[in-house]
Amino acid sequence: MTWYILYKDTDLVGVCNCKSWVSLEGVSVISKEGSIPDLNNYIWSSEVLDLVPSSTSLSKLEFMSRFTTEERIMIRSSTDPVVLDIMKLLELAEFVNVSDTTTQQGVGYLVHSGILSSERAAEILT
């Protein structure tokens, strides 16, 4: 599937997967292949004229690397259905946005369940 980034000078004008559009003076277009990325996890970079992962969005490996080995083992060995659900959501995610409410609630539950301290949760989410 082809999608398009529309920009003027170095400012993002829009993103679309439309088949056609009206050309506007001064608006440039970059065509991309694949699916439009989740715009909750990407930001416009005027330096490279492209969408790039936001600084609050991490790969799953980057996110899980914020936990200590002991914390990861406790999470993976948990039989708590909520912890298992948190891990299932992580498995399905493309990126982890640490400013996202679901991520913050999940890490908060890890505090509630005794896997993390509130201090460690704050470290993981910043």
For 83-115, the pLDDT digits (tens) are 999 999 999 998 898 988 899 999 999 999 999
Range of the domain at 19: 2-54
Whether 70 and 26 map to the same domain: the answer is: no
Domain count across the chain? 2
For 17-73, the pLDDT digits (tens) are 887 777 888 999 999 998 888 887 788 888 788 888 777 788 899 999 999 999 999
Q: Where are the beta strands (DSSP E) in the chain?
A: 2-8, 11-16, 27-33, 42-45, 50-53, 57-58, 96-97
Residues 6+ apart with CB under 8 A from 75: 67, 83, 87, 110, 115
Beta-strand relationship, 11-16 and 50-53: unpaired
Residue with token string 């080995």: 69
Residues 6+ apart with CB under 8 A from 11: 46
Whether 73 and 89 map to the same domain: the answer is: yes
Q: Is the pTM of this model over 0.85?
A: no
Whether 67 and 41 map to the same domain: the answer is: no
